[in-house]
Amino acid sequence: MARWRDGHGMLTVHRPGGEVCVPVELAVSYRARTRGLLGRDAVEGALLLSPAASVHTFGMRMAIDVAYLDRSLRVLAVRTMVPGRLGLPRLRSRHVLEAGAGVMAGWGLVAGVSVSVG
């Protein structure tokens, strides 16, 4: 897997019914991961935090979907979090994908599905 930098790319969800491509913002530096979605009213596409094993929604203005990914970018779990919550760390999680509440189901993003970033 290539080393990522802060910026933008494309997330491909490899689901059984076909692939779905979604714009993704990469947050790999400490500063970008710390800022995350704080202070935003919406997110276009998704935000990938790496490395990350857990997230919180303190100070957020919106509910979000959170997908925990392992080293090979396979989805371990997907949760919806409302503002003001602390997500429990996932043991094998290496990356966390965040998006607006409810959109990951539309992408077919469920446990066991793999994704790629390009």
Instruction: List the domains of the chain with CATH numbers.
Output: 7-111 (2.60.120.1140)
* Mean per-residue pLDDT, 110-118: 96
Pair type for strands 46-49 and 18-27: parallel
Number of H helices, E strands in the chain: 2, 7
Q: What confidence score (pLDDT) does residue 45 get?
A: 92
List pLDDT tens digits, range 23-58: 999 999 998 888 877 777 778 899 999 999 989 999
Q: Where are the alpha helices (DSSP H) in 1-118?
A: 30-35, 103-107
Indicate the pTM of the whole model: 0.91
Q: Give the angle subtended at the CA of 98 by the CAs of 75 and 37, to the nearest 5°.
A: 160
Q: Residue 61 corresponds to which amino acid?
A: R
78/101 Cα distance (integer angstroms): 11
| 92 pLDDT more than 60 | yes
Interatomic CA distance for residues 95 and 97, integer angstroms:
7
Answer whether residue 19 shows pLDDT above 60.
yes
Average pLDDT score over residue span 17-25: 95
| Phi, psi (degrees; rounded to nearest 5) at 86 | -115, 120
In the prediction, which pLDDT does 2 show? 58
Mean pLDDT lowest among 46-50, 58-62, 91-95, 114-118: 58-62
Residue 1 has pLDDT above 60, yes or no: no
Going by C-alpha positions, the residue among 109, 88, 104 that lies closest to residue 15 is: 109
Q: Is 31 helix (H, G, I), strand (E, B) or coil?
A: helix
